[in-house]
Amino acid sequence: MLSITADQLALFIGTLSVAIVSPGPAVIAVSQSAFALGRRRVLPYAWGLAAGASIWCIFALLGLTVMFRIMPWTYDLMRILGGGYLVWIAWKMWQHAPDPLPDPAQSRLGMSFWGGVVLNLSNPKPALFYSAVLLSIFPALLSGADKLAIYATALSVEMAFYTALASLMALPWLRRRYYESKFGIDRAAAALIGLLGLSLILRL
């Protein structure tokens, strides 16, 4: 039986959706690959990126709950560190919103499923992001069923996002609009993530 609520899952979906919309290395890679190669050739790569990102959610779920049971004081420490990290991410996103999108990484890992997995696993920052978000939304102690529901939700959101992104960015006319919308997307995401970080730090 689940101890987490539908409202908590909805907040988790909303927070995760806001975070992954802001352009990062994986978003840039799949977008520009879709521009060049088309939807069918890029979809396996996009699904690999989604799977790789969701693996960080597993690490956060398994590591944090065990640690909190053994050392309860670590909850407050992670709450403060996680909130500080979210505020820092929000500041960097706000600061760089006017910047143009960089080119994808020069060493491409290939357009395979596993290429996408490796790309997202090469960046450990999502582990701390997932940890901070999980701490801010869900109880400190989660059952196995809770963890499964949270992971399934994270995987679904990641899969839906990368599938939609690869499909949409394969349409040439959307490329220009995507670049034009970067400033607004980054500023809105920065504001929401910053508020989440502050609420996590100030929670008693």
Q: Give the pLDDT score at 62.
A: 84
- Measured in degrees and rounded to the nearest 5, phi and psi for residue 193 equal -70, -35
pLDDT at 189: 75
| Strand locations in 74-149 (E) | none
Tokens standing for 101?
A: 């999108």
**Nearest alpha-carbon partner for 85 in 128, 135, 27, 37:** 128
- Specify the pLDDT at position 107: 40
**pLDDT value at residue 36:** 67
Amino acid occupying residue 122: S
pLDDT tens track of the chain, all 204 residues?
A: 788 888 999 999 998 988 887 766 788 778 777 876 778 888 999 999 999 999 989 988 887 656 766 777 777 787 787 788 778 878 887 888 787 755 544 444 457 898 888 878 776 677 778 888 888 888 877 888 889 999 999 999 999 999 999 998 888 777 677 667 778 877 887 888 788 788 878 874
For the whole model, what pTM was predicted? 0.71
- Scored b (16 or more CB within 10 A) or e, 116-143 reads bbebbbeeeebbbbbbbbbbbbbebebe
Q: How far apart are CA 23 and CA 113, in angstroms?
A: 20
Q: How many CB atoms lie within 10 A of CB 167?
A: 16
